[in-house]
């Protein structure tokens, strides 16, 4: 589990803990039958949360790849810079 997944997991766990202590047992069934519009809004909010979670994880993946790209480019720049500073041995035979 990457750091972002861990944070998102902890936040959802905290939400569920708060709901477990504040929402009476059986509320979901009562809301579904007595207030279908509220039930639909809850389902939409939960779907939105799941979608946003996926977007955050995908963005974090892009972030990690961008960090890696920058590190690789700086390593390449350092290698080329070091190669440019190396003295040329003019007496060495050329490779065939």
Q: Which token pair is 19? A: 């709901």
| pLDDT confidence band for 96 (50 / 70 / 90) | low
To the nearest whole number, what is the mean pLDDT of the chain? 92
Return the pLDDT at 85.
82
Torsion of CA 37, 43, 49, 50, to 10 degrees: -160
Cα–Cα distance list, 46 to 1, 22, 40, 63, 87 (Å)? 22, 18, 10, 25, 64
Q: Give the CA radius of gyration of the chain.
A: 28
The mean pLDDT value for 8-37 works out to 94
Answer for the pair 4, 58: CB distance below 8 angstroms, yes or no: no
| pLDDT confidence band for 18 (50 / 70 / 90) | very high
Write out pLDDT tens, residues 55-65: 999 999 999 99
Answer for the pair 4, 56: CB distance below 8 angstroms, yes or no: yes
């Amino acid at each position: 589990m990457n750091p972002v997944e861990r944070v998102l997991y902890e936040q959802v766990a905290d939400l569920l803990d708060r709901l477990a202590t504040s929402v009476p047992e059986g509320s979901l069934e009562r809301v579904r039958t007595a207030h279908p519009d509220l039930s639909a809004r809850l389902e939409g909010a939960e779907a939105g949360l799941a979608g946003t979670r996926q977007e955050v994880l995908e963005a974090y993946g892009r972030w990690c790849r961008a960090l890696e790209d920058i590190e690789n480019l700086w390593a390449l720049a350092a290698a080329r810079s070091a190669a440019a500073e190396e003295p040329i041995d003019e007496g060495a035979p050329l490779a065939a």
